[in-house]
Amino acid sequence: MKLKTLLTGAALALGLATAGFAEDKTKVGFVYVGPVGDGGWTFTHDQGRKAVEAEFGDKVETVFVENVAEGPDAERVLTQMALDGADLIFTTSFGFGEATINVAKKFPNVKFEHATGYQRADNVSTYSARFYEGRAVQGHIAGSMTESNIIGYIASYPIPEVIRGINSAYIHAKKANPDVEFRIVWVYTWFDPAKEADAAKALIEQGADVILQHTDSTAPHAAAQEAGGVVTFGQASDMSQYAPFPRVSALLDVWAPYYIERTRAVMEGTWESVDTWNGIAEGMVGIGEITDAVPAEVKAEALALKEALRTGEYHAFTGPINKQDGSVWLAEGETANDGDLAGMQFYVEGIVGDIPN
Amino acid sequence: MDLSSINPVLLVASLMVAATPILLAAIGELVVEKAGVLNLGVEGMMITGAICGFALAVETGSPLVGFVSAAIGGALLSLLFVILTQYALANQVASGLALTLFGLGFSALLGQDYVGLKPPATPRLDIPVLSDLPVVGPILFSHDPVLYLGIALTAAVWAVLKFTRVGLVLRAVGENHDAAHALGYKVVRIRVLAIMFGGACAGLGGAYISLIRVPQWTEGMTAGVGWIALALVVFASWKPWRALLGAYLFGGVTVMQLNLQAAGVAIPVEYLAMSPYLITIVVLVILSADKSSAPASLGRIFHASN
């Protein structure tokens, strides 16, 4: 009896102690779909995590779990993180959406942030970047630089995010070079270096001399380098180890300011469920250094395009734009609304092939 | 649709490259299973070989050193499996799974300083006249040496298993370890050597991915190739040439489906994406209709006292 009381007391004290401890330190969790060393998507999120640590020092504790499969496994990882006392959890892949919503219901006091998602709740925010703005700049450079007029595109999953990128890149490549043609390969993975390399090789063998990728590894760059004369772009992170050629520029994800701002909101108790979609203007999307392999006038045009996107004087989807079947989507001068963009499930006119469903 | 944009010669050449890691790992595992041991740790040994090979090739600047150390790395890791299953008599399935998990984690740890580096290029064969021949030149005479090693190894394993005394003893151990033991063969010693051979082959296969096929190091880069090799051994009915056929078929359909997509063929992508698995299994199942069965002692624990 005495022992039991003693133990209960000890457990209680311990519980109080950890609770008190947790109040001092804000615990921020990150769930990653790939390894932090992927050199792309997950790497940039982890840079954001490190920035949070650097900003708040002892006041925060960050934890992360990498290589989490999209699906039921994510739910287990999230539950564990919430049980371990996380105050704020960032789930950094589209496929974590269901799991995030489910776990958020069970832990109403924990705040969740789901990247590239669309489902929100009182304690679930969504955030994403307007990568299509960066794709526009990329498309312009790609269209200007291709000599075979064939641009290869390594696509991951047929979700609006990826389709938006293809459309934006195509529209701007076409503006720079009316003869341009897109060859799209769906690899159904975010990260599989061998498969990405194979896809890049298949595209190069079929005459593509520019490769755009929406997958996370640097394998396509290696394949392009080996083939010679093929242009690539860094995806998510700078991938500057392949600069100045084949990598001539990059589409950068800059998560750090957002992560710092949201962590601060939790600390100050001002956190609210919001839907954030930031672009070049807010600095969430960046354009990696355009190397000297790009002709000076193309570089100047690309930077002008970036500037126009930043100030908002130009929207990446400005009419006239038709859908693939020829029906009118945007009339002359009309710009796409966010609802249309968020749910985009069609190619624009001129792209050959069907979107898998 | 524009099929003419697919160059069949380049296609065959790149399917051979895509198939080689699977082939190397499958041939190694075939020998292990012929000796009556089921090692599910192929994926773990491959990824360990991938980082060992990559790290040493980068440090020394020599791809040859890289491949040799990949084989050594894979064989060393398989020693862990040897200790667990041959001396501690642990369950082979559980030990193999543990080896895969361990290999994945261990390689990630070893590889932390090697992310984003470029390995030295492995020279390709360049025979003055032969490599320049149309069609056969790119297909037969202008690959890297390891690809030929894979084919040579298949032939060697086939010949050894079929025609030599060593092969006969190995098969005897795999079919009935008690009888082999009664005849005075060192069952455990033979199995240890077979497992180490399997580890070395898997390591080579892994290094082929990190040094030639991709070529770079990223965590988890083998992405399930080891499991495909394991399945291939079973569907190939433990016959080396069928394993080669299966590997080339799998590599071939994988490369082919990407090419078809790039050419804009109007087959839904979902079907194309599953086709490598489907076609390989169907073909090998049809081939295995001759009822050749697994080595009788496969997966069973041996101890001289039983």
pLDDT 10s digits, B68-87: 999 999 999 999 999 999 99
Whether the per-residue pLDDT at A44 is higher than 70: the answer is yes
The type of residue at B159 is A
**Residue A218 with chain B: CB contacts under 8 Å:** 116, 216, 218
Asked whether residue A230 falls in the same domain as residue A332, the answer is: yes
The radius of gyration computed from the CA coordinates of chain A, to the nearest angstrom, equals 22
SS3 B110: helix
Determine the Cα–Cα distance for residues B32 and A328; give it in Å rounded to an integer.
63
Which residue among B209, B219, B222 places its CB closest to the CB of A37? B219
Question: Which residue in A66, A153, A185 has the most chain B C-beta atoms within 10 A of its own C-beta, making it the best mutation to test that interface?
Answer: A185
Question: How far B64 CA lies from chain A's nearest CA (Å)?
Answer: 19
Give A69's contacts (C-beta < 8 A, 6+ positions apart).
none
**pLDDT score of B235:** 84
> Are A184 and B10 within 8 A, CB to CB?
no
For residue A4, being part of any structural domain is answered with no
**pLDDT score of B152:** 96
For residue B134, being part of any structural domain is answered with no
**pLDDT score of A18:** 47
Asked whether residue A89 falls in the same domain as residue A176, the answer is: no
> Are B18 and A198 within 8 A, CB to CB?
yes
> Are A205 and B7 within 8 A, CB to CB?
yes
**pLDDT score of A2:** 52
- Residues 91-130 in B contacting A (C-alpha not used; CB under 8 Å): 108, 111-112, 115-118
Whether the per-residue pLDDT at A221 is higher than 80: the answer is yes
Asked whether residue A27 falls in the same domain as residue A92, the answer is: yes
In Å, how far are A317, B176, B233 from B216, measured between CA atoms? 37, 43, 28
Please count the residue pairs, one from chain A and one from chain B, whose beta carbons lie less than 8 angstroms apart: 108
Q: Give the end of a domain, one of A85, A100, A129.
A: A129
pLDDT tens column, A155-194? 999 988 899 999 999 999 999 999 999 999 998 888 888 8
Determine the Cα–Cα distance for residues B47 and B94; give it in Å rounded to an integer.
19
For residue B154, being part of any structural domain is answered with yes
Q: Give the end of a domain, one of A129, A155, A182.
A: A129
For residue B300, being part of any structural domain is answered with no
For residue B296, being part of any structural domain is answered with no
> Are A205 and B266 within 8 A, CB to CB?
no
Residue with tokens 């908002």: A312
For residue B257, being part of any structural domain is answered with yes
**Residue B225 with chain A: CB contacts under 8 Å:** 194
For residue B298, being part of any structural domain is answered with no
**Residue A166 with chain B: CB contacts under 8 Å:** none
- Confirm or reject contact between B140 and chain A (CB < 8 A): no
Asked whether residue A28 falls in the same domain as residue A153, the answer is: no
In Å, how far are A116, A161, A275 from A340, measured between CA atoms? 15, 12, 16
Q: Mean pLDDT, to the nearest integer, of A105-126? A: 92
Asked whether residue A106 falls in the same domain as residue A140, the answer is: no
Which residue among B214, B223, B258 places its CB closest to the CB of A202? B258
**pLDDT score of B1:** 46
Q: Is this complex's ipTM strictly greater than 0.90? A: no
Whether the per-residue pLDDT at A137 is higher than 70: the answer is yes
> pLDDT band at residue A8, thresholds of 50, 70 and 90?
low
**Residue B213 with chain A: CB contacts under 8 Å:** 194, 197
- CATH code assigned at A70: 3.40.50.2300
**pLDDT score of B273:** 77
> Are B262 and A183 within 8 A, CB to CB?
yes
Question: How far B5 CA lies from chain A's nearest CA (Å)?
Answer: 6
> Are A35 and B269 within 8 A, CB to CB?
no
> Are A38 and B219 within 8 A, CB to CB?
yes
Pair A246, A232: CB distance under 8 Å: yes
* DSSP run (H or E) holding A186: strand A181-186
Length of chain B: 306
- Residues 11-30 in B contacting A (C-alpha not used; CB under 8 Å): 11, 14, 18, 21
Asked whether residue A159 falls in the same domain as residue A51, the answer is: no
Asked whether residue A299 falls in the same domain as residue A175, the answer is: yes
Asked whether residue A124 falls in the same domain as residue A170, the answer is: no
**Residue A46 with chain B: CB contacts under 8 Å:** none
**pLDDT score of B269:** 75
Give yes or no for a cis peptide into A320 (omega within 30° of 0): yes
In Å, how far are B178, B181, B191, B299 from B186, measured between CA atoms? 11, 6, 9, 17
**pLDDT score of B10:** 82
Determine the Cα–Cα distance for residues B306 and B179; give it in Å rounded to an integer.
12
Whether the per-residue pLDDT at A15 is higher than 60: the answer is no
> Are B14 and A352 within 8 A, CB to CB?
no
For residue A110, being part of any structural domain is answered with yes
**Residue B50 with chain A: CB contacts under 8 Å:** none
Which residue among A186, A202, A217 places its CB closest to the CB of B259? A202
Whether the per-residue pLDDT at A20 is higher than 70: the answer is no
Domain count for chain A? 2
**pLDDT score of B3:** 66
Asked whether residue A27 falls in the same domain as residue A135, the answer is: no
> Are B263 and A198 within 8 A, CB to CB?
no
State which residues of chain B have pLDDT below 70: 1-3, 291, 306
- Residues 180-199 in B contacting A (C-alpha not used; CB under 8 Å): none
> Are A218 and B116 within 8 A, CB to CB?
yes
For residue A291, being part of any structural domain is answered with yes
Whether the per-residue pLDDT at A16 is higher than 50: the answer is no
For residue A273, being part of any structural domain is answered with no
**Residue B139 with chain A: CB contacts under 8 Å:** none
Which residue among B112, B255, B264 places its CB closest to the CB of A198? B255
**Residue A222 with chain B: CB contacts under 8 Å:** 118, 214-216
Of the candidates B222, B39, B264, the residue with the CA atom closest to the CA atom of residue A355: B264
Determine the Cα–Cα distance for residues B137 and B141; give it in Å rounded to an integer.
5
Whether the per-residue pLDDT at A266 is higher than 90: the answer is yes
Determine the Cα–Cα distance for residues A261 and B69; give it in Å rounded to an integer.
48
Burial label, A11 (beta-carbon count in 10 A; 0-12, 13-18, 19+): exposed
For residue A217, being part of any structural domain is answered with yes
**Residue A38 with chain B: CB contacts under 8 Å:** 218-219
Tell me which chain A residue has its CA closest to the CA of residue B122: A226
Asked whether residue A61 falls in the same domain as residue A163, the answer is: no
Q: Give the end of a domain, one of A78, A98, A129.
A: A129
- CATH code assigned at B198: 1.10.3470
Asked whether residue A336 falls in the same domain as residue A310, the answer is: yes
Asked whether residue A233 falls in the same domain as residue A114, the answer is: no
**pLDDT score of A1:** 43
SS3 B258: helix
> Are A186 and B116 within 8 A, CB to CB?
no
For residue B303, being part of any structural domain is answered with no
Whether the per-residue pLDDT at A116 is higher than 90: the answer is no
For residue B306, being part of any structural domain is answered with no
Question: How far B195 CA lies from chain A's nearest CA (Å)?
Answer: 26
Pair A67, A35: CB distance under 8 Å: yes
For residue A60, being part of any structural domain is answered with yes
**Residue A194 with chain B: CB contacts under 8 Å:** 18, 21, 209, 213-214, 221-223, 225
> pLDDT band at residue A47, thresholds of 50, 70 and 90?
very high
Alpha helical stretches, state H, A57-157: 72-83, 97-106, 131-145
Domain containing residue A211: 131-252+285-342
> Are A222 and B215 within 8 A, CB to CB?
yes
The radius of gyration computed from the CA coordinates of chain B, to the nearest angstrom, equals 20
Whether the per-residue pLDDT at A6 is higher than 60: the answer is no
Burial label, A55 (beta-carbon count in 10 A; 0-12, 13-18, 19+): middle
The type of residue at B189 is R
> Are A193 and B258 within 8 A, CB to CB?
no
Pair B259, A208: CB distance under 8 Å: no
Domain count for chain B? 1
Q: Mean pLDDT, to the nearest integer, of A247-267? A: 93
> pLDDT band at residue A17, thresholds of 50, 70 and 90?
very low
Question: How far B199 CA lies from chain A's nearest CA (Å)?
Answer: 21
**pLDDT score of A226:** 85
pLDDT tens column, B123-155? 877 777 777 777 787 788 888 899 999 999 999
